[in-house]
Each structure stands twice: as structure tokens, then as C-alpha cells.
Amino acid sequence: MSKIPEPTIERLVLYSRPLETLLRTGTLVISSGKLARLCGVNAAQVRKDLAYFGEFGVRGVGYDVRDLLHHITSILGSNRQWRLCIVGCGNLGSALLQNENFKSRGYFFVAAFDLDSRRTGKELPGGLTVEAAEQIQDAVKERAIEVGVITTTRDRAQRAANLLMQAGIRAVLNFASTHIRAPECCLIENVDFTVKLENLAYHLSKTG
Amino acid sequence: MSKIPEPTIERLVLYSRPLETLLRTGTLVISSGKLARLCGVNAAQVRKDLAYFGEFGVRGVGYDVRDLLHHITSILGSNRQWRLCIVGCGNLGSALLQNENFKSRGYFFVAAFDLDSRRTGKELPGGLTVEAAEQIQDAVKERAIEVGVITTTRDRAQRAANLLMQAGIRAVLNFASTHIRAPECCLIENVDFTVKLENLAYHLSKTG
DNA sequence: GCCTGTGAATCCATTCACAGCT
DNA sequence: AGCTGTGAATGGATTCACAGGC
């Protein structure tokens, strides 16, 4: 089996979204061309991406919506539940804890920590209570947490990551706008809206 | 002048962050190798990225920190202030309005809208009051808003974008996890943490 | 006619490797 | 000796174009 490009994985998530809608609205079959337009990508791209994982379509017809969606969620590993914790319970962290996009896709926050001990004990919307950083080690093991979400300030992000990694976490979603150093075995995904924003600014100032 | 790769722009933002820290801590000069390590990229990459815009370094020495930072912010257009508005004043929107990363880099929210009229008039942390969608057209013009930030639910994102574009906005930062269709003239940048999260899940379930 | 699956071709970005400067 | 700037080489990913099946 050949190696699968990283961008392909990201696009699979993209494809799954309109598919969910199509399933709800009762569309049974969709062509690569139509799905491509819904996601803003090239039709051949859609076909190639899917072909990495099998032959899901029918020539001359298209893809069965329900079928394809099941295949994709199964490939992505989102056909099961995942347990998350958050480190950094400021505004952004609190907002994420309440965000429906996590729950609805099977991602559940089961712990919330903060490196600032003054926040310990604070009750958060969503039912969690802020725990101290010292609890990370035990909580990760006892509650079988697999993914850590970092929403601290920039200067605390590396420390947060270190604590998570020491506790055995191997996947981190980092919202702090800084590069986190980590060994190969630990995956870090960065969500950095300041990068995207400055990107917009660049293009605006270029075109006048 | 040759065409500048999109990833290069994103990395310039990345470079600017450690440079700010270095400037504060009094480091005068930095080599591409050291800057690269701080950002988790290749040294040749740093040099090539910078070389697109000029010869900022000194052979045998490195880059002057203050100088390089000024060059980068000037290239990115972040040496001036930008006026933003937000559409969608739920938890995420409210959190972003309070987020220091915007202000500290010269991005100021000057209006907040919501497509749900029941939210109109609500006061938000940060000093803004929720305005109705019908106000977008006038507000964008009168307050010289250049960038729109969408934090609505998925099903309202396209409508939000249409309103912004009709009002003359040509740059949109989209936090809703859906693809927004827009003409060439309007730039859309997507910040989608569900994509990153599912990406992590994929890699975790692959490696066991 | 319409649509998928896929080798081939193209395009783009990253990395290498070294000449040239301090 | 150390570091930048850059052509050349490499490595990937996207798109094209068409054979094969409905």
C-alpha cells in the first residue's frame, strides 16, 4: 500500500461535511464532480484521494452517499469516541469546551487544567471544574485521555505540552501561536488564526 | 520579481514570533539555522523565504534581529492597524473579541453582528454591542472595515459571507467548518480545528 | 453519455550544495 | 571559520487525459 499524502487526510474531513448534509437531505448518490464543487477542490483530486483507500465508487454512476461517509469516518477513526483534556481555561478554552463541533463528532472533554493555580476549582460551563497542573499525570491515565488541547498563552504552551507528554499524551492540538518542540512520537497540530489573519493582511496590502 | 509561494507568507508570520522575543531579550543577531530551529523548519527554507523579498542578511554573520523583524512586518502589512468585524456572537465569537492576539498585532474589532436578531443589543465583553445583520452594509462603509471574521454556525456561514461581500469586504477569516463559495476577488481563509483534530485521530488510530 | 480509477505529465515547494562575502 | 544567497536536484502533490465500466 502506497504512502498517503497528509493533505489527503485533511480533505477527507472536508468531504465528510457535505456528505453528512446530503445524507440528511436524502441524496443517495453523488459524483466526484459535485462533491468537489461543494468542497472547492478539483474532481480528480476527490477521486484520487478516495482511491488511496479502495474503490468506493461505481463507474458511470458515482458514490453512494451513506457508504462513502461510512468509509471516510472509519478511515479517519471518527467512528468511535475520543477523550480529550484542555490545558488553559481562559476565554478561548472555555469557548471550546462549549463548542458543539467536538461533541457532535465524538470528541469529549473529560478534564480541564490550568497552569495558573489561581484558576483551580473554578467551575466551567459544560460541567467541568478546573484542576491543577499537578493532576495532569494521574488524570490522563485514570480517565484514558488520548488527546490534549492547549489554549494557554504563548509563554506557557511549551510547559503545558511537556506536562501532557510526560503523562503519556501523544497527540496535541495547539491553539497557542508558538512552535512547540516535541519528539517524533508526539503529534502536534497547530491551529493558529493569527497566521491566517496576517496572511489576509498581506494579500490586502498587496492588491491595495 | 518571481511569484511568492503561499507557504512562504505563512512562515514569515512564524518567523516574526521568535524575533519579537529575541528583540525583547536583547539578542542583536540571529542566523538562519537558529531561527529555523526555533520555528521547526529547515535553515535553507528560512533563507529562501527571506530572499524572495531582498537581501536582509550579512554573509558570515546572520540577520539583524530588529531589522529583519521590521522587514517582515512591513512585508506582511502588519506595520499598520486593521479594522475587523465579527459575525456570530456565540461563545467562540465572544472569546475571540477578548483575545489579546488580535489587539497586540494591530487588529481591532470595531463591530459585532449576529444573524439571529434575538442577540441584537446584547453587550459583549470588550465594549462592543451586538448589531443586527441589516447594519452590516452601512457599518462596513462608515467604519472602514476591511476584514470580516465569521464565527456563526455552519449553516449560516455562507449567508454571513454573502452579507460581508455585498458590503464590500474582500477578506474573510472563516471559523465555521464549512466551505464558503466566493468570487476570485474575495479572499477566504479557513480556521478549522475539527480538521486538525480528526487528523490527529487518524494518526492515533493508525499507530494503535 | 456519464462517471470512476489511474498512469503520465505538470506544477510547485523543499532541500541540497556550494560559490561568495565577512 | 561561519553564514548568506541561490542555481540545481529532489521530492511531492495536483491536474490532465483517457481507458474501462455502467
Task: Tell me the per-residue pLDDT of B82-125, one tens digit each, with 9 for 90 and over.
Answer: 999 999 999 999 999 999 999 999 999 999 999 999 999 999 99
Q: Cβ contact (<8 Å) for A196 and B190?
A: yes
Tracing cell 502588519 back to the chain, one arrives at: B78
pLDDT, mean of residues A42-55: 98
From the CA of B114 to the C1' of D13: give the distance in Å.
39
Cα nearest neighbour of B179 on chain A: A39
User: How far, in Å, CA of B33 to CA of B44, rounded?
Assistant: 8
pLDDT for the residue numbered A207: 80
Closest CA to B19 of B4, B34, B8, B9: B34
For chain A, the C-alpha Rg in angstroms (whole number) is 20
Q: Is the model's pLDDT at A2 over the cut of 90? A: no
pLDDT for the residue numbered A1: 52
pLDDT for the residue numbered A19: 98
Q: Cβ contact (<8 Å) for B94 and A98?
A: no
Query: Helices A32-39 & A43-51, crossing angle to 10 degrees?
Result: 110
Per-residue pLDDT reduced to its tens digit, A6-40: 999 999 999 999 999 999 999 999 999 999 999 99
Q: Is the model's pLDDT at A145 over the cut of 70? A: yes
Q: Using DSSP bridges, classify how beta strands B62-64 and B57-58 pair: parallel, antiparallel or unpaired.
A: antiparallel
pLDDT for the residue numbered A208: 65
Confidence of residue B1 (pLDDT cuts 50, 70, 90): low
Tracing cell 475520543 back to the chain, one arrives at: A82
The pTM assigned to this predicted structure is 0.96
pLDDT for the residue numbered A158: 98
pLDDT for the residue numbered B33: 98
pLDDT, mean of residues B36-44: 98
pLDDT for the residue numbered A188: 98
Confidence of residue B163 (pLDDT cuts 50, 70, 90): very high
Mean pLDDT of chain A: 97
pLDDT, mean of residues A171-191: 97
| B17 interaction partners in chain A (CB closer than 8 Å) | 154, 177-179
Contacts 24+ apart (CB under 8 A), A181-189: A181/B40, A187/B200, A187/B203, A187/B204, A188/A161, A189/B196, A189/B197, A189/B199, A189/B200
| B170 interaction partners in chain A (CB closer than 8 Å) | 204
Q: Which residues of B51-83 are buried (b: 16+ CB within 10 A; e: fewer)?
A: eeeeeebeeeebbbbeebbebbbebbbbeeebb
Confidence of residue B207 (pLDDT cuts 50, 70, 90): confident
Question: Cβ contacts of residue B164 below 8 Å, gap of 6+?
Answer: B85, B87, B136, B140, B148, B150, B172
pLDDT for the residue numbered A58: 97
pLDDT, mean of residues A66-77: 97
- Provide the shortest C-alpha distance from residue A156 to chain B (in Å): 14
The closest CB to that of B76, out of A75, A82, A202, belongs to A202
Per-residue pLDDT reduced to its tens digit, A74-118: 999 999 999 999 999 999 999 999 999 999 999 999 999 999 999
From the CA of B59 to the C1' of C18: give the distance in Å.
14
Confidence of residue B208 (pLDDT cuts 50, 70, 90): low
pLDDT for the residue numbered A15: 98
pLDDT for the residue numbered B75: 97
